[in-house]
Amino acid sequence: MMLSIKNIHANIEGKAILKGINLDIKAGEVHAIMGPNGSGKSTLAAVLAGREEYEVTEGTISFLDKNLLDLSIEDRARAGLFLAFQYPVEIPGVSTTNFIKAAVNEKRKYNGQEPLDALAFLKVMKEKMAMVEIDQSLLSRSINEGFSGGEKKRNEIFQMAMLEPKLAILDETDSGLDIDALRIVANGINQLRNEHRAILLITHYQRLLDYIQPDYVHVLYNGRIVKSGSKELALELEEKGYDFITDETDLTAKA
Amino acid sequence: MMNTAYFKDQFEGLADDSSADTIKELSKAAFESYNHSGLPSSKLEEWKYTNISSLFDKNYQFSKNNSEEELSYTSLKALNLPGQNEANVLYFIDGRFMPDLSKIRSSEKELVILPLEKAAAGPYQKIVKEHLGSSSKYLKDGLHALNTAFIQEAVFIYLPKGQQLEIPLYLHHVTHATKENILSQPRSLIYLAENSNLQLVETYTTLGSMDSFNNEVIEIVLEEHAFLAYYKLQNDGPNAAQVSSTHIHQIGKSYVQSLTISLNGGVIRNNLNLVLDAPGNETHLYGLSLLKGNSHVDHHTLVDNKQPNCFSNQLYKGIASDTATAIFSGRIIVQPDAQKTNAYQSSKNIILSDQATIDAKPQLEIFADDVKCSHGCTVGQLDEEAMFYLRARGIPLKSAESLLLQAFSSDVLTQIKLEPLRKHVEQLISAHLASS
């Protein structure tokens, strides 16, 4: 098992957001987590990546047989967990290329590999740039500074390509993208899909799943996974809206 | 305070023969002024963040005239910064200009360097008379007067008309505090004639483990179309206190860029005055204080707009960790005649510990009605979102902090146009951040 989430409860500022999540993900699988706004989707991503504002009050998460909750933010990343941000941060004064090079070499060091020299790094970069159709001129700028919404998301997928994670969590990567940008980003993600890598797609809308076919779809509502199924579940949601599930759940809860 | 009697003694013992009359008169008046006001106490508004007089509870000595015997050119060269070996270098030992140890690579036609006494008695008499001591109108404290009272073995630097000096000029201050606490009082008068160009670098080294106090005054005058880039690197030991006053008088339409990098030292106070005394003057002042331990750096700037259409911009950045203190007090005066003045000022700071202190104090005094002036101060912490983003890519906490602090410093550092100096400063900053 690559990722095993058992009964995770998490709070922010004392407010319970996740109320007992269970989820197992194997290498090679693509899981989609869908749900209405405020259901806890992004909180789950944040807890996995180690955001310190969230307090895990109950449950366990194992990632590649390690206790994920014991690892620092940076060690989770080096061990192969990658979070593509819903809102990538602008960092003026730090060059994107230097930042990615530092990140790649931190990961190599963690895995006992020699750092990439400038030439080798450039070669890998060129290859991955083509994959996500990102321009060199963007990468020589400060991190995300003045990037359009689409450029920021492409930069996230570019970083994913460079870091070759074992588990990629894509938090609302489709939000704010027009149809062309969505196609480019989805295309990049599909190229990164392979039998060694797991992908967790977090999305509100079904449209991303037209481009990236998940193996499993889960519906998150009120801090719990209330329904799981195959990719057809996403189509059903698209057709009937979240109400058909949320009503059902609220009814069950009352009963 | 035993120093008062000591100064009196020393002043009376000054050799009466060598100095030119101009200097003698100035010194005498300054010593009276010092006697009258004493050392600045922190009760004075201008000195409230920096308690200088308490430093004089211990006794500082002027060095005896023999320390140069112990310092050869070779041993000084070992203290040089990258790029300094190819530059013009003036050494000051314990505050005294050392012509024999200094190294002038430019020709006399390009750059005139003279002991101030000689300049005052010779062909530059008029300039010395007119400009030496002009900073006293702006800096009225006893410490400044004390420097003037003891003007001795000072330097006069003159860039003749049209000389675009390609290699920089370093003023390297070495204090020899091996046996006793040393008070050094370097004094320079620099004159840039019409259409000349000077890159000036100042750096400080204290040798030995006793305390040093560097009470420095530089006066710089720029004529029409002169250009000055002025870099000051403060990276001395924790035993090295300093009050460094630079008074720049732009008497013709000219351009000044000043950049002060303060990394290490004891108590440091920098007074930087710009007097914009011709229409169309342009001035850019930058500062970066990157402080840890118990360092204390107090920047006081003054931009006095006396004529119309002048432009000035100030950007001072401070980072304070541990128990360090970074102060920026910036004063802009716009005189009644200085219409169409553009004067901007910004102080941005990051505070990294609960025990560190940042003080920022902007002052605008505007007496003209058609001007654009602005000031702004910010004090904040490292951006948590940015920290998380970097760490979520595998960059360790310390490196992420250091990346963000380097980024914060970068718009000041990119203004260092001397490549070897900029690289050196960038390395110092990386090392500084890595070790804190």
Which among B394, B404, B411 is the nearest to A106, CB-wise? Answer: B394
Rounded Cα–Cα distance for residues B201 and B229 (Å):
8
Tokens of B417: 């146009």
Q: Minimal Cα–Cα distance from A231 to chain B, Å?
A: 29
| Bigger pLDDT: B2 vs A68 | A68
> What is the predicted pLDDT for the residue at B351?
97
- Domain residue spans of chain B: 3-278, 384-436
Q: Would you place residue B18 in the very low, low, confident or very high pLDDT band (cuts 50, 70, 90)?
A: low
Q: What is the pLDDT of residues B123-174, one digit of tens each?
A: 999 999 999 999 999 999 999 999 999 998 999 999 999 999 999 999 999 9
Q: Would you place residue A241 in the very low, low, confident or very high pLDDT band (cuts 50, 70, 90)?
A: confident
Tokens of A62: 């194992």
Interchain proximity B393–A89, CB inside 8 Å: no
Is B48 an 8 Å CB contact of chain A? no
A253 pLDDT above the threshold of 70: no
Cα A112–A116–A120 angle (5° rounding)? 145
Interchain proximity A91–B390, CB inside 8 Å: yes
Q: Minimal Cα–Cα distance from A222 to chain B, Å?
A: 26
> What is the predicted pLDDT for the residue at B53?
85
Q: What is the pLDDT of residues B289-298, one digit of tens each?
A: 999 999 999 9
Rounded Cα–Cα distance for residues B150 and B77 (Å):
28
Which residue in chain B has the smallest CA separation from A74? B394
Which among A49, A100, A142 is the nearest to B392, CB-wise? Answer: A49
B29 pLDDT above the threshold of 60: yes
Q: Minimal Cα–Cα distance from B387 to chain A, Å?
A: 10
B378 pLDDT above the threshold of 60: yes
The percentage of chain B sitting over the pLDDT mark of 90, rounded to a whole number, equals 85
Q: Minimal Cα–Cα distance from B414 to chain A, Å?
A: 11
A236 pLDDT above the threshold of 60: yes
Rounded Cα–Cα distance for residues B199 and A130 (Å):
46
Q: What is the pLDDT of residues B217-272, one digit of tens each?
A: 999 999 999 999 999 999 999 999 999 999 999 999 999 999 999 999 999 999 99
Which residue in chain B has the smallest CA separation from A98? B403
Q: What is the pLDDT of residues B91-116, one digit of tens each?
A: 999 999 999 999 999 999 999 999 99
Is B122 an 8 Å CB contact of chain A? no
Q: Minimal Cα–Cα distance from A90 to chain B, Å?
A: 7
Whether the CB-CB separation of B306 and B335 falls below 8 Å is answered with yes
Rounded Cα–Cα distance for residues B62 and B126 (Å):
30
The least confident of B38-47, B230-239, B364-373 is B38-47
Q: What is the pLDDT of residues A88-146, one digit of tens each?
A: 999 999 999 999 999 999 999 999 999 999 999 999 999 999 988 898 999 999 999 99
Interchain proximity A106–B395, CB inside 8 Å: yes
Interface test with chain A among B288, B315, B317, B395, by most A beta carbons within 10 Å: B395
Whether the CB-CB separation of B20 and B123 falls below 8 Å is answered with no
Q: Would you place residue B73 in the very low, low, confident or very high pLDDT band (cuts 50, 70, 90)?
A: confident
Q: What is the pLDDT of residues A82-98, one digit of tens each?
A: 999 999 999 999 999 99
B68 pLDDT above the threshold of 60: no
The ipTM of this complex is: 0.96
The percentage of chain B sitting over the pLDDT mark of 70, rounded to a whole number, equals 97
- Label residue B66 exposed, middle or buried (CB < 10 Å: 0-12, 13-18, 19+): exposed
Interchain proximity B408–A93, CB inside 8 Å: yes
> What is the predicted pLDDT for the residue at B69?
60
End-to-end CA distance of chain B: 36
Which among A78, A88, A93 is the nearest to B394, CB-wise? Answer: A78
Residues 137-166 of B with CB under 8 A from A: none
> What is the predicted pLDDT for the residue at A49?
97
Please list every residue in chain B whose beta carbon sits closer than 8 Å to the beta carbon of residue A163.
393-394
> What is the predicted pLDDT for the residue at B59?
86
Interchain proximity A99–B392, CB inside 8 Å: no
Tokens of B307: 């004529």
> What is the predicted pLDDT for the residue at B66?
60
How far are the Cα atoms of A71, A171, A211, A234, B35 from residue A230, in angstroms, in the given order?
32, 20, 15, 8, 91
How far are the Cα atoms of B33, B61, B99, B185, B299 from residue B95, in angstroms, in the given order?
21, 12, 13, 5, 21
Interchain proximity A106–B391, CB inside 8 Å: no
> What is the predicted pLDDT for the residue at B336?
97
Interchain proximity A106–B396, CB inside 8 Å: yes
Q: Would you place residue B342 in the very low, low, confident or very high pLDDT band (cuts 50, 70, 90)?
A: very high
Beta-strand relationship, B227-235 and B255-264: parallel
Is B404 an 8 Å CB contact of chain A? yes
Interchain proximity A74–B388, CB inside 8 Å: no
Q: Minimal Cα–Cα distance from A238 to chain B, Å?
A: 32
Tokens of B15: 């050799």
Which among B389, B391, B403 is the nearest to A85, CB-wise? Answer: B389
Q: Would you place residue B361 in the very low, low, confident or very high pLDDT band (cuts 50, 70, 90)?
A: very high
For residues B417-427, give the mean pLDDT: 96
Question: The domain A3-254 belongs to what CATH superfamily?
Answer: P-loop containing nucleotide triphosphate hydrolases (3.40.50.300)
Handedness of CA B113, B118, B120, B126 (dihedral sign): negative
Please list every residue in chain B whose beta carbon sits closer than 8 Å to the beta carbon of residue A147.
none
A221 sits in which H/E element: strand A216-221
For residues A169-175, give the mean pLDDT: 94
Whether the CB-CB separation of B309 and B278 falls below 8 Å is answered with no
Rounded Cα–Cα distance for residues B141 and B149 (Å):
12
DSSP B86: G
Rounded Cα–Cα distance for residues A193 and A216 (Å):
15
Average model confidence (pLDDT) for chain B? 94
Please list every residue in chain A whose beta carbon sits closer than 8 Å to the beta carbon of residue B389.
85, 88-89, 91, 143
> What is the predicted pLDDT for the residue at A106?
96
Q: What is the pLDDT of residues B198-215, one digit of tens each?
A: 999 999 999 999 999 999
Interface test with chain B among A81, A91, A101, A157, by most B beta carbons within 10 Å: A91
For residues A56-63, give the mean pLDDT: 97
Rounded Cα–Cα distance for residues B422 and B319 (Å):
19
Interchain proximity A103–B393, CB inside 8 Å: yes
B70 pLDDT above the threshold of 80: no
For residues B179-197, give the mean pLDDT: 96
> What is the predicted pLDDT for the residue at A240?
86
Tokens of A218: 């889960």
The closest of B261, B116, B276, B254 to B190, measured between CA atoms, is B116
Is B406 an 8 Å CB contact of chain A? yes
- Label residue A112 exposed, middle or buried (CB < 10 Å: 0-12, 13-18, 19+): exposed
B67 pLDDT above the threshold of 60: no
What residues contact B38, with CB distance under 8 A and at least 6 apart?
A: B4, B53, B142
**Cα atoms in the 13 Å half-sphere on the side-chain side of A47:** 29
Which residue in chain A has the smallest CA separation from B412? A93
Rounded Cα–Cα distance for residues B385 and B378 (Å):
18
Is B367 an 8 Å CB contact of chain A? no
Q: Minimal Cα–Cα distance from B321 to chain A, Å?
A: 21
> What is the predicted pLDDT for the residue at B3?
76
What residues contact B68, with CB distance under 8 A and at least 6 apart?
A: B93, B96, B98, B100, B101
A39 pLDDT above the threshold of 80: yes
Interchain proximity A91–B394, CB inside 8 Å: no
For residues A215-243, give the mean pLDDT: 91
Buried b (16+ CB within 10 A) or exposed e, B3-30: beebbeeebeebeeeebbebbbebbeeb
Interchain proximity A99–B385, CB inside 8 Å: no
